Chain A
Amino acid sequence: MGQLLKEKQRLNVKNSGTTCEIISFLGGGGQGEVYKGKLDGKEVAVKWYFPDYLNNDPGLRNRLENLIKNGAPNDRFLWPMDIVTSQDDSKSFGYIMELRESRFKSLNDLMKRKVEPKLHVLTIVGFELAFNFRELHTRGLCYRDISFGNVFFDPKNGEVRICDNDNVDVNGAEGAIGGTPKFMAPEIVRGEAKPTTSTDLFSLSVLLFYLLMSSHPLEGHNESQIHSFDLPAQRQLYGLNPIFIYDPQDKSNRPDPNVHTNAIECWPIYPKFLQEMFVRAFTEGLRNPESRIREGEWRKAFVRLRDCVYYCSNCGEENFRDFESTETVTCWSCKKPTKTPMSVVIEKNRIAITRDMKLYSHHIDRDSEFDFSKPQAEVARHPTDPNKWGIKNLSSTAWTATAPDGKELGIDPGRSISIVPGTKINFGNLEGEIIS
């Protein structure tokens, strides 16, 4: 067990008026300890604060009560549900939240390669992070501590859970926390600013860079020259003289081939549009908080990145096709040139055709929002001829297609059209074309 609560100890649950029984210790952090508890027969997580910590964060109780009153932005947030107190210990309190399911792994696990999800899963994680932090920010709230330890994902499907929401507050409110080293915006490191939505955006960019590159955007030559990686060194690297490792103008901080091999291996595999976004995030965005990339832009970029995933024609490993480039992609895994995949072009979107390509409503309907729960089309094999592949209509409306020879074809829901380059498909208010 931890130091603060005992097994079978019962805590009073403020709003519901019931009690919560402590079952086991889950882990400790800088602010308190987390336990598994039972509330109305359901397992929950209980965070209980160190009494000393409460002195440093006098606004905590009010903040939590407001968070509880207003509720979570959505199910991706393991949000405070109710306050708990103890008759045995009046010096502290805690809160109840949903228990994180074991299918969710931390980004630490990804950094240590204890989990190795597929690349397309990482694109979904990136999308989910951008989408959900946007949900938080549009409510006028600020997270203030975006980092590895607070974000979890399902390596199978990319779904995320955002934890440790007890620092969340109205943007601009006074708070006790500055953030986590390596994720803090330079102006916070220099002591010039407090966490805001704008500094959240910087931390999000760092998190997304870590997600794809397993390295830090500012750790290059300058980091490798540091002997003792202590606070003064970190202040220099992340605050006083931050330089992006792929800054196109200032090449002084490129990754050190002896140390930063991840950045060197990962950076070239991503399409130029994504590289350019990271360049903006860590050049202009480093110096000017107003120039930071907003979640909406990241969200679109990760959707686009997902559309670029295809399989190497030699080894079958996932790669990204940069459709703006005519150069052959060399597979990052087998190092052989890959065959460019066919694709479907629908207005600005271009989606690589792979055995598991899916089209979603935002692809085929101009007026639709992102909704990945219901694919509208997928690649399917002919039921009797396994060499024949098609695009299957999973939507509820019929499409029409024009074959390269001009022949008109109807594609009813549940039916498929052969993948023939030059074929045009009319989805309703948008038209797509299969490109070889």
Chain B
Amino acid sequence: MPLPGGELASRPLYFFWICDCSGSMSGQKIQSLNTAIRESIPEMKQVADDNPSGQILVRVLEFSSGAKWRNTQPIPVENFTWTDLVTSGETEMGRAFSMVAEQLKMPPMPERALPPVLVLVTDGRPTDDYKSGLNQIMSLPWGKKAVRIAIGIGGDCDFDVLEEFIGNSEIKPLQANNPEALTRYIKWASTAVVKDVSAPPSQPRGQGSVNVQIGQIPAASTDPDVW
């Protein structure tokens, strides 16, 4: 142990994917989303790796007729992998918001953290009461502090709802009309936004350092001598 202290103290950053898996997402849309998120993971890991003061934890919520968490606990991004979403049913966004709100309470959220990032991806209109779910989020301190991003796929999306979810006139919902745009937005949300919330970017990491063997401490002589 050549250095006192340890890693720089960091705060957790909870990153939520809130993904629409309703029937209308079937086919190319859901496959594009699966690909886009899967492709963004290595870059998200790089962001985490370059960032000494934030620890990124990922949660995935899928919603259709009802909603469910992919994992029971947040996953550190280093260990995060993506399993393809499958589609069926309605667009119960309100149910999804309620479940996100449950997770934004303290606990399970810690008292000290970076602002959470909520990324909503959908292609449609809520089929349930989204307002009460959204109100639940917005009634919580972490809900208010969260950075909320919304990506609408295609032209059938209800962008008014997405704007309401974002609740910040400076951030507009992103409209992805093709897979390239979706990939770009997903990457932006999972890297640039995360950087903005946690810390500025830096350069690739390195590896281990020198390991100097402990030697003897020079001892005092008694005889003055020149050699």
A residues adjacent to B (C-beta < 8 A): 26-30, 100, 102, 104-106, 108-109, 111-119, 122, 147-150, 152, 155-156, 163, 180-182, 210, 213-215, 219, 224, 226-230, 259-263, 265-266, 269, 310-311, 313, 315-318, 332-333, 339, 341-342, 353-356, 379, 382-383, 387-390, 401, 403-405, 407, 409-411, 415-421, 423, 436
Contact = CB atoms under 8 A, between A and B. Distances in A.
B4 A260 contact: no
A29 B201 contact: yes
A215 B224 contact: no
Given A30-B201, A106-B206, A382 B227 contact: yes
B218 A354 contact: yes
Contacts of B217: 310-311, 313, 316, 339, 341, 354-355
A108 B216 contact: no
Given A108-B51, A108-B52, A390-B227, A113 B203 contact: no
A228 B202 contact: no
Contact of A261 (B2, B6, B141): B6
Interface in B169-227: 195, 197, 199-210, 212, 214-227
B222 A420 contact: yes
Given A118-B210, A333-B4, A389 B204 contact: no
A106 B210 contact: no
A384 B52 CA distance: 50
Interface in B132-154: 141-142, 145
Interface range for B: 35 or more
B204 to A, nearest CB: 6
Contacts of A150: 202
B160 to A, nearest CB: 27
A316 B203 contact: no
Interface stretch (B21-29, B63-71, B88-96, B106-114): B106-114
Contacts of B200: 30, 147, 149, 180-181
B8 A229 contact: no
A386 to B, nearest CB: 9
B52 A112 contact: yes
Nearest to A315: B214
Contact of B5 (A259, A266, A417): A266
Contact of B201 (A118, A149, A228, A332): A149
A379 B218 contact: yes
Contacts of B113: 227-229
B11 interface: yes
B226 A119 contact: no
A12 B51 CA distance: 34
B203 A214 contact: no
A354 B202 CA distance: 37
A226 B205 CA distance: 30
Contacts, number: 204
B224 A418 contact: yes
A407 B224 contact: yes
Nearest to B211: A116
A421 B199 CA distance: 52
Contact of B145 (A230, A353, A389): A230
Given A106-B205, A156-B209, A421 B51 contact: no
A149 B200 CA distance: 8
Contacts of A332: 4
A113, A119, A181, A436, most chain B CB atoms within 10 A: A113
B199 to A, nearest CB: 7
Contact of B114 (A148, A155, A224, A229): A229
A182 B113 CA distance: 17
Interface of B: 1-9, 11, 50-53, 111-115, 141-142, 145, 195, 197, 199-210, 212, 214-227
A423 B4 contact: no
A106 B37 CA distance: 29
B45 to A, nearest CB: 14
8 contacts: A163-B203, A227-B112, A229-B112, A261-B6, A262-B6, A379-B218, A417-B224, A421-B220
A122 B50 CA distance: 21
B95 to A, nearest CB: 26
A119 B3 contact: yes
Contacts of B52: 108, 111-112, 148
B203 A117 contact: no
Nearest to B3: A116
A108 B205 contact: yes
A215 B214 CA distance: 28
Contacts of A104: 206
A342 B220 contact: yes
B114 A316 contact: no
A420 B224 contact: yes
Given A118-B210, A229-B115, 20 more contacts: A30-B195, A104-B206, A108-B51, A109-B205, A111-B8, A116-B1, A182-B199, A228-B115, A228-B141, A265-B5, A315-B214, A316-B217, A317-B214, A333-B4, A388-B225, A389-B218, A418-B226, A418-B227, A419-B221, A420-B222
B12 to A, nearest CB: 10
Given A119-B2, A261-B5, A228 B219 contact: no
B7 A113 contact: yes
A355 B215 contact: yes
B9 A411 contact: no
Contact of B221 (A163, A181, A230, A420): A420
A181 B227 CA distance: 57
